[in-house]
Amino acid sequence: MIIAITNQKGGVGKTTTALNISAALAFMGNRILLIDTDPQAHSTLSVLHDPTAYSRSLYDVLMRPDEKFESIVATSTIPGLDIALSKISMAKLEPSLLGEIDGHYRLKDVLEPVRSKYHHIVIDTPPTLGLITLNSLVAATHILIPIQSSYLCLEGTDDLLETIDKVKRVANPDLQILGILITLHDKRTNISRDVVRRIRKVFGNLVFKTFISKSVKLEESPAYKESIFTYAPQSVGALQYRKIAEEIIDRAKN
C-alpha cells in the first residue's frame, strides 16, 4: 500500500498518525518508507537525530527527476523505518511546478523504482489541497483521513472528497479511501460523543473502530525522536495506534 495521510485542516493529527502508523507497521516486521511532503518537515524532524546533516530534500528529486530518490532517503531513529526528507525548501515546489505538464505526477514517477523495496509507503501531507497534496494523492493507492474530534471537524470535508473524486477521475482511478480516523478524542465530553455521531453519519463504515484519544504521551514522543511504541509502550496511545495498524492490515486484505 501507499497510504497518503491527508486532511487540509491543520493540526488534526496527520503527522502524529503518519509517524505512529509507520512505526506500528515497521514493528510488525514490515519495511516502511515514510515520505514527508510537508514544508514544515515535522515528520522529518521527529525521526532524525541530526536533520541539519542533510542538505537536500524531496524538493530536489521532484524538481530534477533524474536525481536518485535514494539520495534524500535516510535511516530513521525508528527501527525498520526509512524517511524521505522534507525541508523548508519544499515550500518552493508549488510555484516551481506550476505550469509543468507533469506537475501532478512527479511523486508517482520518482517512487516507481523504489516502491518494491518497501512493504508499505506512508505519505505525510501538508494542510492544503495544493499541488503537493495532489502529487501525494496521485502517487497513493489509499488515503487515510484523520478527523479531529471537535465541533468544526467536518468543515472542509466536502472539498477534500471533491478533490479525491477529481483525482480518481483524472489521474488515479484505483485510489481508495482506507478509512476515517477520529483523533484527539476526549470521551468525557458531550461534544466528543456528538462529533462521533456526526462523523459516523457522514462516513458510516469508513470510520475506523478505534479512536485516538488525546494523550500527553503522543504529544511528547516526537521530542525524543521516538514513536509511541518505545516512548510509552503501555500507554493508551500505543494501544490505539497498534489497533489502527491492525485494522489497516485487515482492510487492505479485503
Applying CB under 6 A, which residues contact ligand ATP?
10-16, 38, 40, 42, 127, 183-184, 212, 214-215, 218-219
Task: Give the number of residues written for the chain.
Answer: 254
Cβ distance to ligand ATP smaller for residue 76 or 183: 183
Helix H segments across 128-221? 131-139, 157-170, 190-203, 216-220
Cβ distance to Mg ion smaller for residue 31 or 128: 128
Considering only residues 6, 7, 8, 15, which one is a binding residue for Mg ion as defined by CB under 5 A? 15
Identity of the amino acid at 47: V
Q: How far is the CB of 33 from ligand ATP (least distance, A)?
A: 18
Grid coordinates belonging to 66: 533524474
> Do residues 33 and 76 lie in contact, with contact meaning Cβ atoms separated by under 8 Å?
no
> Do residues 88 and 57 lie in contact, with contact meaning Cβ atoms separated by under 8 Å?
no
Q: How far is the CB of 36 from ligand ATP (least distance, A)?
A: 10
Give the sign of the dihedral formed by CA 251, CA 69, CA 45, CA 138. negative
Q: How far is the CB of 9 from ligand ATP (least distance, A)?
A: 7
Residue 14 binds Mg ion, judged by CB under 5 A: yes
Segment 136 to 195, residues that bind Mg ion, using CB under 5 A: none
Cβ distance to ligand ATP smaller for residue 12 or 122: 12
Residue 213 forms beta bridges with which residues? 185
Which of ligand ATP, Mg ion, none binds 120 (CB below 5-8 Å, type-dependent)? none
Cβ distance to Mg ion smaller for residue 124 or 226: 124
Q: How far is the CB of 113 from Mg ion (least distance, A)?
A: 27
> Do residues 57 and 69 lie in contact, with contact meaning Cβ atoms separated by under 8 Å?
no
Q: How far is the CB of 252 from ligand ATP (least distance, A)?
A: 23
How far is C-alpha 41 from the chain's CA centre?
12
Segment 20 to 59, residues that bind Mg ion, using CB under 5 A: 42
Which of Mg ion, ligand ATP, none binds 218 (CB below 5-8 Å, type-dependent)? ligand ATP
Residue 125 binds Mg ion, judged by CB under 5 A: no
> Do residues 13 and 190 lie in contact, with contact meaning Cβ atoms separated by under 8 Å?
no
Cβ distance to ligand ATP smaller for residue 102 or 230: 230
Q: How far is the CB of 35 from ligand ATP (least distance, A)?
A: 14
3-state helix, strand, coil in the chain (%, to 5): 50, 15, 35
**What count of Cα atoms within 13 Å lies in the side-chain half-sphere of residue 95?**
3
Q: Report how far residue 254's alpha carbon sits from residue 243's, in angstroms, rounded to the nearest whole number.
A: 17
Cβ distance to Mg ion smaller for residue 163 or 171: 163
Residues of the shown chain interacting with Mg ion in the complex, contacts defined by CB under 5 A = 14-15, 42
